[in-house]
């Protein structure tokens, strides 16, 4: 379930998600034209704005990860294992952060 939620969040940041909303709007307009009113347009606008925000957030997050990966690779004593932490589930990342606070680093004391 956790991987499904992560995959769904990643999908909503892709341009194809906008086509899903557009397709839904077309189907809604064709099949139930009577209910396609100002409320429907507002609903679709909210969905599109949510996708825009999700995409911007994802872009910013990816840029930050790239910058941090570069810093970890450039740092002589840094562990390259941390560059793959963004592939883990949020719960696993929280465990790594807790371990880092307790042990002076995610891989223990160095």
Q: How far is Cα 22 from Cα 25, in angstroms, rounded to an integer? A: 5
pLDDT digits over 85-109, tens only? 777 777 788 887 788 778 665 555 4
Greater confidence, 38 or 98? 38
pLDDT of residue 104: 60
Identify whether 24 is part of a domain. yes
pLDDT of residue 110: 46
Question: Which whole number is the average pLDDT over 23-36?
Answer: 94
pLDDT digits over 53-94, tens only? 988 888 888 888 888 888 877 887 776 677 777 777 777 888
Domain that holds residue 55: 2-62
Question: Which whole number is the average pLDDT over 14-20?
Answer: 88
Identify whether 98 is part of a domain. no
Identify whether 31 is part of a domain. yes
Identify whether 97 is part of a domain. no
Report the sign of the C-alpha dihedral through residues 57, 58, 63, 64, in that order.
positive
Identify whether 44 is part of a domain. yes
Look at phi and psi of residue 67 and say left if phi exceeds 0, alpha if psi is from -120 to 50, else beta.
Answer: alpha
């Amino acid at each position: 379930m956790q991987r499904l939620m992560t995959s769904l969040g990643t999908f909503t940041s892709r341009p194809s998600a906008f086509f899903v909303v557009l397709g839904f709007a077309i189907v809604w307009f064709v099949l139930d034209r009577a209910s396609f009113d100002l409320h429907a347009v507002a609903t679709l606008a909210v969905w599109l704005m949510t996708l825009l925000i999700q995409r911007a957030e994802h872009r910013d997050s990816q840029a930050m990860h790239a910058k941090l990966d570069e810093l970890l690779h450039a740092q002589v004593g840094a562990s390259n294992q941390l560059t793959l932490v963004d592939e883990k589930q949020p719960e696993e990342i929280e465990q790594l952060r807790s371990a880092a606070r307790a042990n002076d680093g995610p891989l223990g004391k160095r």
